[in-house]
Structure 1
């Protein structure tokens, strides 16, 4: 455990690690040729200082916004450190963002310079958005950049002396502007100070290693977007706070290899990936064979160890999940393996520092109690209200919206609906504005129904809708394996039977007015590319409803229980 906890910002912490453990490896980056590049704290500091010196030489206005448009790599974090060392503000952009979103963020944040790295689709990804980049905006190509239009990171580092006297920010200074993924309307710029980014890992130690916190012996794998708060908080902030080693993944094709290389002790993922791991093992080892082995203390112990080792999760002491409910079967399977997955709830506005399940206190369907230092209560319309020590400074250029987002006593209006149990554990029941009324005049909350639908292994995402219909219905985005099965008559009949049985099971758990008239399997997979999922893989409800609304009445009045678009 790091015993030097008197620093006040993550940059101070970095400088401390650079000074006290200069030769320890901080970042490990796999390369396209199959090689692996390690960077020590000293080497990261040297490159960051050289880039900071270059930024200084450009004589940009104080606290300028500097964009980071790149997939996760070691140099994403090095560039972020360089921006801070030069006294500027980092503005990450999702690599999945379309041209309009890129244009909006660059203009709204008044970005003065843009670091460009690897993008979705590589060169094609750059071509898709390049027209939205102002012609006079200076570009710097990170190593492995998809752009090739800016100044080379390597050339700048080679020709620039390191900045010796770096900017040491005060805790209240603006550190970064994180643009929300924008499930509705334009993304909002969430302003975080150095204090909030430092406070998040400082107060969340209870989540890790059975309450023992994080240490410089921990290992992390970075693969979820660093432009999103969750990865920024669990990977970048925790690593800088505690001196952890960070490994990176080159992409989907190498992910399994990258995970086994990292052997992380802390692993954050989304329900979809936890489910894919589960399904992948079931495809190789029949669940009945697993159950028989697990019943034997000796054989079971060996099989569990082998499964976790095959996944690269055998060293994980803390498995984290968020963004959507975990299917119960998936959670129970990991618990059998000896890995208790911990679900949590947080927002960009509080740097993910809100509620989290703790080991031994997990309640299925709940996201845990408020983290120490967090105040929370249920307000009008069952809205979840939160005051976090890692709360944002406000929304960039939106002072009125910022003011409207807080109660008179300073709690943030999350827009989420919820309820708490006797231990203060929180259950998310939907969005305040997502309730809809059926033709019978009854209100339906879609999120709890969607959570149940997510328990089926064939369902990757769902959208429950039905404004003005006699009964609600559910649109299903199914797995690639299910789509392949639908190509044959036999496979289609099998899927139909499974989903009909599942619908009956789901409906038995809800009130009559909430029961689904039917399940509709949609043709086109929902994705970030077709704007039906956010960059964090949440559904864009309004866009999905707009796409299919002309068929709702037909589907709702049909006598079929499962239909295919």
Structure 2
């Protein structure tokens, strides 16, 4: 196979040669930026690769990375590529069971352990057969520490990988069970990262901030990948408490986020100014422009030429709201299996808000049976690791990947995601309900933080709702009236079999820790169905019920 694009190994050589003294990585530690140049990254990556060979590892061995985003994560990723090892990223929020599963399933012989919030609870997931390599952070005991590894051996000579060589095994976030390991080649990843940078117009002058999990393909392709081919500077976040300050320091040209964070930004802005006052100010031409600039500056996004949103469905109302303060957010769609480069609304078109954009360069899309979106590109994964049946089931006879997403494509080629094939369920009426369109419409109620529509085998579908923080300060009757009106408005637009029975307001927040959210903050629908489906049978006529109002009899059943 002819290699169409340079690999990250070749690009690292190139940037070290043409702009070696330029700062590449900026890592805040104890509120001071620690800067690393392209030449230094190149040198450390080649030294770490030499150290791994000195420790007895061989080309093709799998080596995991368990850490929050940091400069060392990037350097290790390069080192593994330089040495011909296969990287296996693990989400930094993964529990011990998930860590154990990924390490064992991937047959990883070592794990780099770095910046973690709860290392002691995760440590039991690393068995004694797996060598632990430190990244310079406290949390989990390791056999070798960072500086020791950098001094263990001389730098190796660069050997460029072939396009068909396996670069990484990326495990999905596990929204429907055990994660699957998507095998990604150098050719597929390099093509996607190159195309992303080309599509977005990245240059060495760009600044980005890396904070979404690097174990997820979106951050790996859009932030790590664009830095490889664009040659820009990457900033990191020190902690959740310093997040806003770190974004302000980075002042990124390109900022990528998820719907939940965009929603939190919006709620914080409204809480500071007041919704009515903000609407009034924004409606006054000169004052509105001034207020909008001030908000963007406070967010640290006043110089961002591209704002991105992906990973989960986002309410069109939220995107229109940001448009009022001069922030056009590009919605995109992609998957682990297609290296995250699939569709995006860029260049931005306001009239296409509500879609996930149009196909990227060299991307083929079509609609298959049951409205399933089928996909083909040079960025497709090779296979699911050690799961040949799942691999075969995921592909059509003509080489298209079955995405599992249901979609519609308009006359301009813009794609709207209308559901997930496996998310659809039958109510007691015997007809299928697609929950995603209902959720998108209901999400426009500002009292809602997260929601999930369930109802398999029940008389009506019901929306499970986690309230926004601001809603807890309001009288329950006021929130109830708002949710009831929203439920009725949504039901009025649905076919009779898909009208909502009502809303159940849940008590316990949905988090990664209680297994409702994936590490990328997607809702695990099957978990909520198991917990709540038996409790919603009597909710009908747009009733709004709090979980603490459910009868003991209903809970017991």
Confirm or deny that 1:521 pairs with 2:505: yes
CA displacement at 1:442 relative to structure 2: 2.2
Confirm or deny that 1:196 pairs with 2:193: no
Does structure 2 conserve the Cα–Cα contact (< 8 Å) formed by 1:327 and 1:456? Answer: no
Confirm or deny that 1:263 pairs with 2:267: no
1-structure distance, mates of 2:4, 2:395: 31
SS of residue paired to 1:516: coil
1-structure distance, mates of 2:64, 2:399: 31
Does structure 2 conserve the Cα–Cα contact (< 8 Å) formed by 1:220 and 1:262? Answer: yes
2-structure distance, mates of 1:69, 1:360: 35
CA displacement at 1:334 relative to structure 2: 1.8
Does structure 1 conserve the Cα–Cα contact (< 8 Å) formed by 2:458 and 2:537? Answer: yes
Confirm or deny that 1:171 pairs with 2:163: yes
Q: Structure 1 stretches (4+) deviating beyond 4 angstroms?
A: none
> Alpha-carbon deviations, 1:305-330, whole Å to 9, x = none?
11111110001101110122322332
Does structure 1 conserve the Cα–Cα contact (< 8 Å) formed by 2:182 and 2:337? Answer: yes
Does structure 1 conserve the Cα–Cα contact (< 8 Å) formed by 2:174 and 2:180? Answer: yes
- 1:270-419 aligned at under 5 Å gives the runs 270-362=258-350, 363-419=352-408
The residue that corresponds to 1:50 in the other structure is 47
Aligned match for 2:454, one of 465, 470, 474: 465
2-structure distance, mates of 1:275, 1:201: 28
The residue that corresponds to 2:68 in the other structure is 71
Does structure 2 conserve the Cα–Cα contact (< 8 Å) formed by 1:28 and 1:246? Answer: yes
Q: Which shifted more, 492-501 or 89-98?
A: 492-501
Aligned match for 2:484, one of 500, 503, 511: 500
CA 1:520/1:176 → structure 2, altered by over 3 Å: closer, same or farther? same
CA displacement at 1:184 relative to structure 2: 1.5
> Alpha-carbon deviations, 1:44-72, whole Å to 9, x = none?
11211211110111222321001000000
CA displacement at 1:376 relative to structure 2: 0.6
CA 1:325/1:549 → structure 2, altered by over 3 Å: closer, same or farther? closer
CA 1:345/1:7 → structure 2, altered by over 3 Å: closer, same or farther? closer
The residue that corresponds to 1:147 in the other structure is 140
2-structure distance, mates of 1:560, 1:400: 44
> Alpha-carbon deviations, 1:95-146, whole Å to 9, x = none?
11122111111111110111000113xxxx2222222211132111102242
CA displacement at 1:7 relative to structure 2: 5.4
Confirm or deny that 1:440 pairs with 2:429: yes
The residue that corresponds to 1:28 in the other structure is 26
2-structure distance, mates of 1:11, 1:559: 57
CA displacement at 1:156 relative to structure 2: 2.2
1-structure distance, mates of 2:443, 2:481: 17
Q: Which shifted more, 470-479 or 282-291?
A: 282-291
Q: Which shifted more, 263-272 or 281-290?
A: 281-290
Does structure 2 conserve the Cα–Cα contact (< 8 Å) formed by 1:48 and 1:78? Answer: yes
Confirm or deny that 1:218 pairs with 2:210: no
For structure 2, the 5+ residue unaligned runs are 549-557
CA displacement at 1:557 relative to structure 2: 5.6
Does structure 2 conserve the Cα–Cα contact (< 8 Å) formed by 1:275 and 1:457? Answer: no
Does structure 2 conserve the Cα–Cα contact (< 8 Å) formed by 1:173 and 1:193? Answer: yes
CA displacement at 1:558 relative to structure 2: 8.1
For structure 1, the 5+ residue unaligned runs are none
> Alpha-carbon deviations, 1:211-253, whole Å to 9, x = none?
xx11111111111000000100111111011101100001210
Does structure 1 conserve the Cα–Cα contact (< 8 Å) formed by 2:203 and 2:231? Answer: yes
Aligned match for 1:238, one of 226, 234, 239: 226
Q: Which shifted more, 460-469 or 216-225?
A: 460-469
CA displacement at 1:360 relative to structure 2: 4.1
* Aligned residues: CA RMSD: 1.8
Confirm or deny that 1:156 pairs with 2:139: no
CA displacement at 1:394 relative to structure 2: 1.1
The residue that corresponds to 2:127 in the other structure is 134
CA displacement at 1:294 relative to structure 2: 3.1
The count of corresponding residues between Structure 1 and Structure 2 is: 545
The residue that corresponds to 2:493 in the other structure is 509
Does structure 1 conserve the Cα–Cα contact (< 8 Å) formed by 2:255 and 2:306? Answer: yes
Does structure 1 conserve the Cα–Cα contact (< 8 Å) formed by 2:69 and 2:236? Answer: yes
> Alpha-carbon deviations, 1:161-214, whole Å to 9, x = none?
322x12311111100000001111211110111111111132235642xxxx11
2-structure distance, mates of 1:416, 1:6: 29
Does structure 1 conserve the Cα–Cα contact (< 8 Å) formed by 2:516 and 2:523? Answer: yes
> Alpha-carbon deviations, 1:3-59, whole Å to 9, x = none?
xx985201111110011111100000011x222101111111121121111011122
SS of residue paired to 2:537: helix
2-structure distance, mates of 1:227, 1:523: 30
CA displacement at 1:560 relative to structure 2: 3.2
CA 1:106/1:360 → structure 2, altered by over 3 Å: closer, same or farther? closer
The residue that corresponds to 2:553 in the other structure is none
TM superposition score normalised by structure 1: 0.93
SS of residue paired to 1:267: strand
Does structure 1 conserve the Cα–Cα contact (< 8 Å) formed by 2:460 and 2:540? Answer: no
SS of residue paired to 1:111: coil
Does structure 1 conserve the Cα–Cα contact (< 8 Å) formed by 2:487 and 2:542? Answer: no
1-structure distance, mates of 2:542, 2:320: 35
Does structure 1 conserve the Cα–Cα contact (< 8 Å) formed by 2:25 and 2:36? Answer: yes
CA 1:343/1:558 → structure 2, altered by over 3 Å: closer, same or farther? closer
CA 1:288/1:395 → structure 2, altered by over 3 Å: closer, same or farther? same
Confirm or deny that 1:454 pairs with 2:456: no
The residue that corresponds to 2:552 in the other structure is none
Does structure 1 conserve the Cα–Cα contact (< 8 Å) formed by 2:503 and 2:542? Answer: no
CA displacement at 1:80 relative to structure 2: 0.8
1-structure distance, mates of 2:188, 2:39: 26
1-structure distance, mates of 2:131, 2:542: 60
1-structure distance, mates of 2:146, 2:194: 33
2-structure distance, mates of 1:263, 1:360: 21
Q: Which shifted more, 143-152 or 185-194?
A: 143-152
Q: Which shifted more, 241-250 or 281-290?
A: 281-290
